A and B are shown apart, each in its own frame.
With several copies, the nearest count.
Chain A
Amino acid sequence: MSAGAALEFRVAIREAIVEEMERDESVVFFGEDIAAEQGGVFAVTPGIQERFGTERVFDTPISELAITGAAFGAAVTGLRPIIEIMFGDFMGLAMDSLINQSAKYWYLSREQRSVPLVVRSAVGGGGRFGAIHSQTHATWFQGVPGLKIAFPSSPAEAKGLLKAAIRDDNPVIFLEHKRLYSVKAQAPAPGEVLPLGQARVARPGRDLTIVSAGKGVPDALEAAGQLARDDRIEAEVIDLRTLRPLDIDAVLASVARTNRMLAVEEGPATGGWAAGLLGIVAEHGLHDLDDVWLLSTDELPIPYSPTLEDAFIPGAAAIASAVRERAGVVVGR
């Protein structure tokens, strides 16, 4: 990532859409209330309709089945749709077409056509939105071959990954953590497009590997800073970037160096991506491992009340103390 002006996460998303729409006429963008003056409920996309017109950018009825199904149909006949399913929690309504049409088309058609399609949604807890506006839908889709799932951790990552997702010829589920929208950080180099399916070392370290994605990455980085400062523990932080495909090689390479791995997920352990990652790492790298464990949420819906929600979601402090408790004695100096 080269130097640049500070970029807000929501603006990074907007810039990626605008740049790709300028680059390729076949990119279209639609969803509920995304074109209206506000530019969606998180004010991510104002001005885009004004810029590209109502044929390429439009509001739809509240119809998740139609939005997703229409995006599929359009994607296999020449357009490259970006759609917004406002909150990830609504993705259950959009699931059928994604898994039974978009995800399978390339294979079933014996490669007659691919399905260039991006589905953006706001995900995650911590915003006091309650149980039905705070979920992260990644795990509902992670087991579906043919889908990619991207989960950026910073403004620069958001821009680079979204540009990649729009250019990608496969259906990409794109997760935007709502507590990142207002984060400002270094902009990427102009035109930068990041690879889908390639994790990155967000912070090198020798004592253990912390793997996460989305909002978990800045939390892990903050925890790593605390651990380095207070406990002289040097944690390596891996940003998965995509949850499908999973860059197992990058994780294995890190674990081969550190021998310890903590996976941090804002979601329950059972059926979560973090447990699955541990499993695949154990399968391939068991003899490199001195310890592996998970930091996840309780096996409960996400609560509304601030006291409950704060205790529910693993943040930097929880990550740091998870490391201290389980590995402090062994790896601390």
Chain B
Amino acid sequence: MTVDEQIVTEAPAAYLERYGLMLLIRLFETEMQRLFLKGEVHGTTHLSAGQEAVPVGVCSALAPDDYLAGTYRGHGHALAKGTHPDALLAEMLGRVTGVCGGRAGSMNVIDAEHGLVGCFGIVGGSIAAATGAALAAKGQGRVAVAMFGDGATNHGYFHECLNFAQVLALPVVFVCENNFYGEFTPMLKVTAGGDIAGRAAAYGIPASVVDGNDLWAVREAAVEAVARARSGGGPTLLECQTYRHHGHSKADPAKYRPPEEVERWLARDPLGVAKARLAELGVSEQELSEVEETTRARMEQAVQSALAAAYPDPAGETATEFAP
């Protein structure tokens, strides 16, 4: 079966489930914002609302034991890879039931059980982590994926790792979530050449520009790239164009973005795009609302359980500097 056939012959139910996952991410981000304002989320946090189709589409192409390295804007990365929303939210709230016991927080989540190598707070760090995971993955029949932003493509990590991965023909997929801003700075202002996918040519790596707000498009590109990686064909770069609905982090009202631009992107909300497509595929209103209801309930349950959990007791912590 070719990649196209795989995508096309898949039952709509699979996409309905993925839509549910996208919605879960959206609801998670909404809760994060609400809880931040309530003082329950600490420090800072980077929301990915608007970008959900990318991690969900990419992870839909992965096996559970494939590896993913995400970023500080990583709630969607973790949820899409299989991290339990309860454990993720508890981590954000600094609770002892968090996936890292509250030690890591929003920017540094690690969930090895679900193949989440980590979320990395250093721009470009995820690229290196996935490149390394691909070294191990090669002998394990697995694939590693790096998620990173447009801003990261100007970083030394990007260049060195793409070259390194191609030279060694590593099973890795480089997924750029191009949301057209790095913090407050427009991508075009700091990205010479203005073309992210085009940079792959420097390394002889195949690349494509993907509609990052279209779950189907992302999945299709990812399935192809993952198949190439798994079969020894080496790395691929996917530039998934998308948009964040919120500012860069909690403190940023994102006033630097032209209102028309924001509106244009809001009109192509990945959830709306997916809903319309599901309808076209014959998924009923009722099927949709059922999934939405389940997802809402799941999120509600995550909030309750995270809020009910205790903070870690410093006196009871048994942390050691070194592994034995």
Q: Is B161 an interface residue (CB 8 A)?
A: yes
Q: How far is the CA of A106 from the CA of B72 in the complex (A)?
A: 18
Given contacts A60-B190, A63-B164, contact A72 B108 (CB under 8 A): no
Residue of A73, A93, A97, A310 touching B144 (CB-CB under 8 A): A73
Q: Is the CB of B151 within 8 A of A61?
A: yes
Stretch at the interface among B24-32, B50-58, B98-106, B236-244: B98-106
Nearest CB on B from A109, distance (A):
4
Q: Is the CB of B157 within 8 A of A66?
A: yes
Which residues on the A side are within 8 Å of B161 (C-beta)?
Answer: 63, 65-66, 69-70
Q: How does the 8 Å CB contact mask read for A293-306 relative to B, with 1 for contact and 0 for none?
A: 00000111101111
Q: Is the CB of A71 within 8 A of B132?
A: yes
Q: Is A62 an interface residue (CB 8 A)?
A: yes
Interface hits, A22-69 → B, CB 8 Å: 28, 32-33, 36-38, 41, 55, 58-69
Q: Is A225 an interface residue (CB 8 A)?
A: no
Q: How far is the CA of A145 from the CA of B321 in the complex (A)?
A: 7
Q: How far is the CA of A13 from the CA of B266 in the complex (A)?
A: 38
Q: Is the CB of A114 within 8 A of B323?
A: yes
Q: Is B67 an interface residue (CB 8 A)?
A: yes
Q: How far is the CA of A81 from the CA of B256 in the complex (A)?
A: 26
Nearest CB on A from B31, distance (A):
18
Which residues on the A side are within 8 Å of B164 (C-beta)?
Answer: 60-61, 63, 66-67, 70
Q: Is the CB of B121 within 8 A of A100?
A: yes
Q: How far is the CA of A65 from the CA of B122 in the complex (A)?
A: 12
Q: Is the CB of B132 within 8 A of A75?
A: yes
Q: How far is the CA of A32 from the CA of B149 in the complex (A)?
A: 15
Q: How does the 8 Å CB contact mask read for B101-117 relative to A, with 1 for contact and 0 for none?
A: 11111111011110001
Q: How far is the CA of A89 from the CA of B107 in the complex (A)?
A: 13
Stretch at the interface among B123-131, B212-220, B221-229, B275-283: B123-131
Q: Is the CB of B151 within 8 A of A65?
A: no
Q: Is the CB of B155 within 8 A of A63?
A: yes
Which residues on the A side are within 8 Å of B323 (C-beta)?
Answer: 106, 111, 114-115, 169-170
Q: Is A307 an interface residue (CB 8 A)?
A: yes
Q: How far is the CA of A65 from the CA of B190 in the complex (A)?
A: 15
Which residues on the B side are within 8 Å of A299 (C-beta)?
Answer: 321
Residue of A65, A113, A128 touching B156 (CB-CB under 8 A): A65
Task: Name the CB-closest residue of B to A130.
Answer: B105
Q: How far is the CA of A74 from the CA of B133 in the complex (A)?
A: 5
Which of A75, A78, A115 has most B Cβ within 10 Å?
A78
Q: Is A290 an interface residue (CB 8 A)?
A: no
Q: Is the CB of A59 within 8 A of B185?
A: yes
Q: Is B317 an interface residue (CB 8 A)?
A: yes
Q: Is A327 an interface residue (CB 8 A)?
A: no
Q: Is the CB of B132 within 8 A of A305?
A: no
Which residues on the A side are within 8 Å of B67 (C-beta)?
Answer: 77
Q: Is B160 an interface residue (CB 8 A)?
A: yes
Q: Is A107 an interface residue (CB 8 A)?
A: yes
Task: Name the CB-closest residue of A to B164.
Answer: A66
Given contacts A78-B140, A114-B323, contact A130 B129 (CB under 8 A): no
Instruction: Tell me the count of chain A residues lying within 8 A, CB to CB, of chain B.
Output: 76
Residue of A36, A55, A132 touching B122 (CB-CB under 8 A): A132
Nearest CB on B from A47, distance (A):
14
Q: Could you say which interface size class chain B belongs to?
A: 35 or more
Which residues on the B side are within 8 Å of A100 (C-beta)?
Answer: 120-122, 125
Q: How far is the CA of A310 from the CA of B314 in the complex (A)?
A: 9
Residue of A67, A74, A311 touching B136 (CB-CB under 8 A): A74
Q: Is the CB of B121 within 8 A of A133?
A: yes
Q: Is the CB of B94 within 8 A of A306?
A: yes
Q: Is A79 an interface residue (CB 8 A)?
A: yes
Q: Is B163 an interface residue (CB 8 A)?
A: yes
Q: How does the 8 Å CB contact mask read for A274-315 relative to B, with 1 for contact and 0 for none?
A: 000000000000000000000000111101111110111000
Given contacts A129-B43, A300-B319, contact A112 B132 (CB under 8 A): no
Q: Is B154 an interface residue (CB 8 A)?
A: yes
Q: Is B180 an interface residue (CB 8 A)?
A: no
Q: How far is the CA of A30 from the CA of B319 in the complex (A)?
A: 32
Q: Is the CB of B133 within 8 A of A63?
A: no
Q: Is B152 an interface residue (CB 8 A)?
A: yes
Residue of A62, A76, A101, A131 touching B182 (CB-CB under 8 A): A62
Nearest CB on B from A308, distance (A):
5
Q: Is the CB of A59 within 8 A of B190?
A: yes
Residue of A72, A114, A130, A304 touching B132 (CB-CB under 8 A): A72
Which residues on the B side are within 8 Å of A79 (C-beta)?
Answer: 135-136
Q: Is the CB of B314 within 8 A of A33?
A: no
Q: Is A105 an interface residue (CB 8 A)?
A: yes
Which residues on the A side are within 8 Å of B125 (C-beta)?
Answer: 69, 96-97, 100-101
A-B contact pairs, 25 of them (CB 8 A): A62-B154, A62-B155, A65-B161, A66-B164, A69-B128, A70-B135, A73-B134, A75-B132, A77-B117, A101-B120, A105-B118, A107-B103, A108-B108, A108-B110, A109-B118, A127-B43, A128-B42, A128-B94, A128-B105, A146-B322, A169-B324, A304-B104, A304-B108, A305-B102, A306-B42
Beyond A64-B160, A73-B128, A307-B102, list 4 extra A-B contacts (CB 8 Å).
A70-B164, A77-B67, A107-B103, A110-B103
- The 7 A-B residue pairs with the shortest CB-CB distance, nearest first, are A73-B132, A69-B128, A304-B105, A128-B43, A305-B102, A128-B42, A305-B94
Could you list which residues of chain A lie within 8 angstroms of chain B, going by C-beta atoms?
A: 28, 32-33, 36-38, 41, 55, 58-79, 81, 89-90, 93, 96-97, 100-101, 104-115, 127-133, 145-146, 148, 169-170, 245, 298-301, 303-308, 310-312
